[in-house]
Chains A and B, each alone.
Chain A
């Protein structure tokens, strides 16, 4: 069981001597095993928030708690995946996905044995010994996510992992992600620009305002699971979509 709490996190940078807000008073409770999305206009501090949770940057104020323990500015507590797949081009897919285990000091041989069945089960069978440049964008994202999963943290941050994929592949990858999520029972925090994607995947959606990013609204997605293409035509889906579209338009207008 793990519960992630983000308490009053803010981040300011100095620009031309004036402090600029990137993130303002973000507070969030993410319960164990939930799929939570964050959506908002570009430059709304979503990535800043992720960097704070991952411990890569220090917030100007506020703290991050995991199961009540303060993990602010501490790396290695959550899995983190960026939009770019960030596979090492000189390593095979297999050796790429085990890198988190390697860093933890697990011998390569044991790490490989652990990774092989995962690759096979989640659609990368036959590509284990290929180098990343031989794979399509979707396949590479799969490898990136399996690398994060093998790192074996309860909370996983996904920063627009499917942003660079075409619509067809994207849909496929969303279903693939949902399957993984239900197999592994992880808590997922997911950043996206895409309203459909947010509703389709999530239990809960946080809408961010324009810079400095604040949480504008939190929406419960009470659509039944498992979800499928039918979900996309559900009345409830369409109502939520309308609601979110209006909110995001408001943000765009107010920022102009």
Chain B
């Protein structure tokens, strides 16, 4: 039953209050669901419905994690993994973006290289990991290169799609105002492609992480991936879980980082639908 309004009080809708209410309630709900899941995990492993040998338990994971931080090298491993992921992500995305943009400059050049770009995209780069480790050693470099290779073509294809979407009439308008190619490039092509590159940032950060971890699995002296592999080999399943949880947290933090980057780049614009 809708409330009857008094004549003296006009009904004024305020969508912002409704949205902020919804947001608050959704946040509480999200926390609740997460809390219940963690509680169930703990509870079910304690009463033995879930085998704690395989499933570990939240409390054991926290304890094992703490030991790994204070007595082991968890923090160094975390720095190693996130460092190579972020570096590979930045280099790969930037190089791919520039590569995609370069296709705007010459039709002939873009026609020649487009099929090669698609072919390279089709190669499962992770399958090359053993070769890359042999080529670039078991250190930091091979992980960065894997993350780089995972991200570059995705970025290049996104930028190239953006380039193909540049409004020809905008180009014509600028040329009629006396613009040279470089003006059109800076004032129309680059801004047009920004939403395209922004839309793949989230995909690329997780691809970079996958590349890094596979690199660490193959051969490494440091990193969360190496820690998980080692823990698995000595049947320390609690420590495997610590690695998985830390990687998930890292992934969430990096996801939030790209969200922030997205907002910064898309200031004052509507996102690409």
Where the two chains meet, the residues of A that have a C-beta atom closer than 8 Å to any C-beta of B are 54-56, 75-76, 78-80, 82, 84, 86, 88-90, 99-100, 102-104, 131, 133, 151
Contact = CB atoms under 8 A, between A and B. Distances in A.
Given A90-B269, A131-B268, A56 B172 contact: yes
Nearest to A91: B191
Nearest to B167: A86
Contact of B175 (A75, A79, A88, A151): A75
Interface string B157-185: 00000000001011011111111000100
A76 B177 contact: yes
A88 B170 contact: yes
Contact of B268 (A56, A90, A99, A151): A90
Contacts of A103: 174, 177-179, 183, 187
B78 interface: no
A99 B175 CA distance: 11
Interface in B168-211: 169-170, 172-179, 183, 187-188, 191, 194
Contact of A89 (B169, B173, B174, B269): B269
B19 interface: no
A188 to B, nearest CB: 15
Contacts of A79: 176-177
Contact of B178 (A90, A104, A133): A104
A88 B268 contact: no
B58 to A, nearest CB: 46
A56 B184 CA distance: 14
A100 B188 contact: no
Given A88-B187, A90-B191, A99-B187, A76 B169 contact: no
B187 A86 contact: no
B175 A56 contact: yes
B175 A100 contact: no
A196 to B, nearest CB: 27
11 contacts: A54-B176, A55-B176, A56-B175, A75-B176, A75-B178, A79-B177, A82-B169, A82-B172, A90-B269, A99-B187, A133-B270
A54 B188 CA distance: 20
A56 B171 CA distance: 11
Contacts of B269: 89-90, 131
Contacts of B191: 88, 90
Count class of interface residues, chain B: 10 to 19
B172 A84 contact: no
A146 B57 CA distance: 68
A100 B183 CA distance: 10
B268 A80 contact: no
Interface string B260-273: 00000000111000
Nearest to B178: A76
Nearest to B194: A90
Contacts of A75: 175-176, 178
B193 to A, nearest CB: 11
Nearest to B177: A100
A151 B177 contact: yes
Contact of B173 (A55, A76, A78, A82): A82
Contacts of B169: 82, 84, 86
Given A54-B176, A86-B170, 13 more contacts: A55-B176, A76-B177, A76-B178, A79-B177, A82-B169, A86-B167, A88-B170, A89-B269, A89-B270, A90-B268, A99-B177, A103-B179, A131-B269
Nearest to A86: B173
Contacts of B188: 88
B138 to A, nearest CB: 45
A133 B194 CA distance: 18
A131 B268 CA distance: 8
B174 A99 contact: yes
Nearest to B176: A80
Contacts of B175: 56, 75
A102 B174 CA distance: 11
Contacts of A131: 268-269
Nearest to B191: A90
Nearest to B266: A90
A88 B166 CA distance: 11
Interface in B115-173: 167, 169-170, 172-173
A102 B175 CA distance: 13
Nearest to B180: A103
A46 B140 CA distance: 63
Ranked nearest first, the 5 interchain pairs of A and B with the lowest CB-CB distance are A76-B178, A80-B176, A100-B177, A86-B173, A103-B179
A96 to B, nearest CB: 11
B241 to A, nearest CB: 46
B168 to A, nearest CB: 11
